[in-house]
């Protein structure tokens, strides 16, 4: 391993903390137990962070499970459809083409960006087909991402839903943190450069 990569991965190990945030409204699969007593409880529901930054970037080549599990976990992964927490419990029903409030709770603010995407489940009895199933969604203001500022912990994003209805859709929150120090594209070093922690939450919704 060259010195730059060693620097990055040592930084990930040193700075890494456990559990940082989740999508609470509509509640993600690991958090739906907070509003639905039928759901399996996951008391560690703020730590869907791809197995950890070290696992994601060093062991799995930067890849993350579709809904925040470690990419190398067997399928169905815990937070995939039909997985341990993917029981198909509907977390929200919305009107096609509407703008919805999505509530995020950060238990540790690591700066960075939020993005959202939507997957239409073709087979409710199988896991999501892959990354290509998730179509990016825009925010109400037309932007593709939300930039997290310091000292934000309870965040509401206004997300634009598509015009097409679907009986089973998966809304995904993707958080790329920006608090790790790494090597930038121009060869310099700085905060937010290089591999960063990633968090994902998936919620089962209906669009009608």
- Name the residue ranges covered by the structural domains of the chain: 3-207
Q: Indicate the average pLDDT of the chain.
A: 92
Residue 10 — very low, low, confident or very high, per pLDDT cuts 50/70/90?
very low
Instruction: Name the CATH code of domain 3-207 (choices 2.70.50.50, 3.40.50.300, 3.30.565.10, 3.50.50.60).
Output: 2.70.50.50
CA dist., res. 125 & res. 107, Å (int): 33
Residue 20 — very low, low, confident or very high, per pLDDT cuts 50/70/90?
confident
Q: Give the Å distances, CA to CA, from 101 to 25, 28, 140, 174, 201.
A: 8, 14, 10, 16, 15
The answer for residues whose C-beta is within 8 angstroms of residue 37's C-beta and 6 or more apart is none
CA dist., res. 114 & res. 172, Å (int): 10
Tens digit of each residue's pLDDT (9 = 90 or more) over 23-52? 999 999 999 999 999 999 999 999 999 999
pTM of the model: 0.90
Nearest to 201 by CA among 74, 107, 95, 123: 107
Nearest to 67 by CA among 55, 84, 80, 76: 80
Nearest to 91 by CA among 155, 43, 23, 162: 23
Lookup: tokens for 90: 């509907």
Residue 70 — very low, low, confident or very high, per pLDDT cuts 50/70/90?
very high
First to last CA, the chain: 51
Higher local confidence (pLDDT), 13 or 157: 157
- Give percent of the chain above pLDDT 70: 91
Please check whether residue 118 is in contact with residue 135, taking contact to mean a CB–CB distance below 8 angstroms.
yes
Q: Is it the case that residue 11 has pLDDT exceeding 90? A: no
Tens digit of each residue's pLDDT (9 = 90 or more) over 106-131? 999 999 999 999 999 999 999 999 99
Lookup: tokens for 3: 């010195």
């Amino acid at each position: 391993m060259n010195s730059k990569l060693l620097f990055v991965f040592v930084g990930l190990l040193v700075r890494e903390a456990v559990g940082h945030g989740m999508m609470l409204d509509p509640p993600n699969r690991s958090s739906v137990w907070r509003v639905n007593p039928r759901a399996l409880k996951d008391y560690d529901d703020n730590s869907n962070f791809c197995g950890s930054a070290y696992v994601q970037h060093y062991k799995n080549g930067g890849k993350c499970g579709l809904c925040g599990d470690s990419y190398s976990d067997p399928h169905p992964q815990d937070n995939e459809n039909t997985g341990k927490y993917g029981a198909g419990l509907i977390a929200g029903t919305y009107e096609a083409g509407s703008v919805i409030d999505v509530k995020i709770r950060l238990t540790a603010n690591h700066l960075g960006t939020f993005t959202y995407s939507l997957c239409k489940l073709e087979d409710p009895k199988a896991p999501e087909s892959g990354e290509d199933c998730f179509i990016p969604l825009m925010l109400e203001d037309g932007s593709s991402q939300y930039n997290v500022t310091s000292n934000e912990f309870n965040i509401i994003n206004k997300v634009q839903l598509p015009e097409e209805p679907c009986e089973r859709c998966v809304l995904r929150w993707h958080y790329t943190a920006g608090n790790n120090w790494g090597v930038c594209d121009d060869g310099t070093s700085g905060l937010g450069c290089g591999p960063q922690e990633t968090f994902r939450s998936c919620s089962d919704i209906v669009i009608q």
